[in-house]
Amino acid sequence: MRQAVFEAEDRRARTEADLKTLLDGTRHPSEAVQRMAIRALGRLERPVLLGNIQPALSSTFAAVRAAAAEALGQAVSGAGADASGAAQAALIKHLGGERDQAVIGAICWTLGRLPYGTAQAARSAEVTLLVAALPIDTSSNTTLALRLGVARGLESLLRRNAKLFTPSPETVRRLTQMALERRKPRRHDEAEDVIRVRRLAMAALASSKQADEQTITAAAADPDAQVRRLALVALASAAPGSVSEAARAKLSSTGLADPDYLVRYEALRIHARSLTGAFAAWTPVFAALDDPSPHVALLAIDLAGGPQPDRARALTLLRREAESLPADREALRNWHRAAHALVSLARVAPEDAAALLSRFEGSVHWPVRMYAARAAALLRDAECLTRLARDERDNVRDAAITGLKTVAGHDADSLYLEAIGRPDYQLIMTAANALIGTPRRTEATAALRAGLARITGEKRETSRDVRLALIARISELGQAADAQALLPYTSDFDPRVAAEAAAAVGKWTGQAPAVTPRPLPIAAPILADVERLRGARAVIRIAGRGTFEFMLLPDEAPATVARFVALARSGYYNGLTFHRVVPAFIVQGGSPGANEFVGDGPFMRDEIGIEPHVRGAASISTRGRDTGDAQIWFNLVDNPRLDHDYTVFGRVAAGADVLDRILECDVIEEVEIVDRGRGR
C-alpha cells in the first residue's frame, strides 16, 4: 500500500485511480500509510481536496494530525483568499481541542504561512498564535515543539504579511522574549532547535521592523552567530528614530569585527548602503580587503569599484589585486580576487582594466575568461567579446554574448545564430534573447526551428525553459508559413511547450489548434529500496576546500533521495562545480554546464514537507513546481522563507565549515554514498 501511495503521488495523481489510492490511504489502519497519503494530498496543491485532508486532523495518531495541518497549508499554496479561509477555519476549530503540543506547534506553523488576502484574516491568525503561545509564559512544561511552532508561525505571518498589518504590542513582546531568552536545552539533541527559536523570533522582529535598540543590542551579543547577524538585519530595517546614531555606529563597528564571517559579511553589506556622499566611510571597505574570509574580501573588492572620494587608494588596491592573477594552473584555484578586481577596475579605471584584459582573456581557466568577458562588456570592447563569443567553453560564450547584445546589438547576429547550434541551454536562451528584433528574420527563424527540433529530440523534460525561449522567438520572428513546422509541438511531451506552440500557431492562423500533450513515462523507484538508505549519508569532497557529509532523509523525500543516490553512485556529480555561491545564503552546484539551466534530463518531483531550510539543509534547485534537474544546494544560514517551496532531502552532519569555504566554480571531486555499515 505504501508503494502504491508513493507511486500515485509521484505521478501527481493524474487519474481518478491514483486519487482513489491516496484517499484509500488516508483511511488505512497503518499510521505510516495514513501519514504518507495525507502528505501526498497536500503536495498536490489542490484546494478542492481540503475536505479530504481535514478529517485527518482527528486521527488517533499525533503524527498524522501534524501531517494534516501541514498538508492543509500546502494544499492552498498560491490559492485565493477563499481557500485559505477554509483552511484557517479548519485549523482554528481543531486547535481548541488539541492537547498534543507538537501538533499544536504544527498548526501554528501552518496558520502563519497561509496566504492571507486581508488584514483582518492575518490579525485573526495573529490572535490565535498568541493564544496558543500562552503556555510558554504560564507553564514551565511547554515542549520545544510548541515553542518552535509558535516561533515559526509568527515569523512566517509577519514576513509574508508585512504590508497588510502591523503586529500588536503583545506580539512584539512575545517575540522579544523569545529572541532574548537563552534557555538551556533539556536534551543534547535539542540544542540547535533552542537556538532556532531565537533566530526565528529575531527574524520576525526584523521583517516587521519592530526591533528596538535594546533588543538589537542584546541580540548582537548573542553567542550564536546567526542571531548576531539577524540583529544587524534588524538594525538595517529598524524604523527611523528607533535606534540612536551612536548605537548604530557601535553595532556596525562591532559587526564588522565579529569573529564569524557571516556577521562580518552582513555588516559590510549593510555598511555599503551608506557609501554615498563626500563623507562616506570607506575605511571599513579597504580594511575588509584583508579579511581572512574570501567572501568578505570579494565583497570589499566589488564595492571598491564604486564611486568614492578616495579614488587613488581604491585604484592602487584594485590594481594590486588584478595584477595578482596566478599564472600557474594549480594556483588558479585562487583566481577570484583578481577576476573581481578586473571587473571593478573596468568600472572606475577603464584604461587600467584594458591594459590587463588580454592576460585574463588568455587564461587556461575558463571562469577567468568568463570574468574577462564581463569586464570587456563594461569596457565596450567588441573585439574581445567577439573572440570570447567563440570560446571553447559555453559559459564564456554566454557572458560574451550577454555583453555583445549591449555593445554591438544586431551587428553580432551571426554570433547569436551560431550559438543557437551549441549544446548549452543557457547559452541558447541568451542567444535567442539577443535575437529579439533582428532584421535577419528568415535566417534566424530557420536557426531557431532547427535548434528547437534538435533539443526536442533529446527528450529531456528539463529542456522546458530553453524550448519555451525558442518558441517565443519563433513566434516573434516567424510567419504563417512556419505554422506547419510548429504544429507537431502541440502534442509535445511537455504541456507548457505544447500550449505555447499552439498559441504561436493560433497567432499566425487565427485559430489555435488543440493542445494534446503526451507526457513521458515516469518510473518510480521501489520504496523498500529507498528505505534501506535510512541512516545513510553522502560524503562530498571539494577540491582544495575539504570534505563534508550530510545525512539523507529517505522517509521525508524518498524519490529525491533515490534519484540523488543513483546519480552519485554513477559518478554523475564527480568533476562538476558549485557554480552559484551567495554568501550568507546558499551554495549551489551539480550542473554539467556549470549554470542554472543544465542538469539531469527528467524532472524531479517536489517532495515538500516539514523539513526546514536551516543551515546545512540540502535541497534541490527548481524553476517552478516539479522542475528539479538534480542540481543540489546547501543553506549557509537558516532560510525560513524557502520553507514549503523546495524539497529538503538531507542535513549536513559533519564539515559544515567546509560549506563556508566554497567559492564560485570550486570542483566536486567525488560524491560517495556511505550506508550505516560505512560501505558504499
Q: Find the farthest-apart pair of alpha carbons in the chain and give their distance in angstroms, rounded.
A: 76
311, pLDDT greater than 90: no
513 SS3 class:
coil
The 10s digit of each residue's pLDDT in 89-131 is 999 999 989 999 999 999 999 999 999 999 999 999 999 999 9
Integer Cα distance of 562 and 542 in angstroms: 22
| Cell representation of residue 623 | 524553476
Residue 382, class by beta-carbon neighbours within 10 Å (0-12 exposed, 13-18 middle, 19+ buried)?
middle
194 SS3 class:
helix
Q: What is the pLDDT of residue 333?
A: 78
Q: Which residue has the cell 501554528?
A: 108
Integer Cα distance of 549 and 554 in angstroms: 16
| Cell representation of residue 502 | 499552439
Using the 8-state DSSP alphabet, how is residue 57 labeled? G
Q: What is the pLDDT of residue 330?
A: 64
Integer Cα distance of 116 and 82 in angstroms: 9
Integer Cα distance of 175 and 200 in angstroms: 9
Indicate the helix (H) or strand (E) that contains 661: helix 656-661
CA distances from 322 to 311, 329, 627, 663 (A): 16, 17, 39, 18
538 SS3 class:
strand
Q: What is the pLDDT of residue 141?
A: 67
Q: What is the pLDDT of residue 678?
A: 57
Q: What is the mean pLDDT of residues 465-471?
A: 98
The 10s digit of each residue's pLDDT in 221-261 is 999 999 999 999 999 999 888 999 999 999 999 999 999 99
Sign of CA dihedral 267, 268, 273, 278: positive
Q: Phi then psi for 344, rounded to 5 degrees?
A: -65, -40
679, pLDDT greater than 60: no
Spacing of C-alpha 420 from chain mean position: 28
Q: Phi then psi for 553, rounded to 5 degrees?
A: -120, 70
pTM of the model as a whole: 0.95
Choose among 332, 302, 307, 329: nearest CA to 318: 302
CA distances from 110 to 71, 77, 145, 156, 294 (A): 9, 11, 14, 9, 39
Cα radius of gyration (the chain):
27
The 10s digit of each residue's pLDDT in 502-528 is 999 999 999 999 999 999 998 889 999
65 C-beta neighbours (distance < 10 Å), count: 24
Q: What is the pLDDT of residue 140?
A: 62
Confidence tier at 58 by pLDDT (50, 70, 90): very high
348 C-beta neighbours (distance < 10 Å), count: 18
More confidently predicted of 333 and 221: 221
Q: What's the angle, vertex CA 585, arms to CA 147 and CA 174, rounded to 5?
A: 25
**In this structure, are residues 576 and 592 in contact, taking their beta carbons and an 8 Å threshold?**
yes
292 SS3 class:
coil
Lowest mean pLDDT among 72-86, 429-443, 570-584: 72-86
The dotted CATH code for 527-674 is 2.40.100.10
| Cell representation of residue 339 | 577576476
Of the chain, the percentage scoring pLDDT greater than 90 comes to: 89
Residue partners of 514: CB distance under 8 A and separation at least 6: 490, 502
Lowest mean pLDDT among 22-26, 133-137, 204-208, 219-223: 133-137
334, pLDDT greater than 80: yes
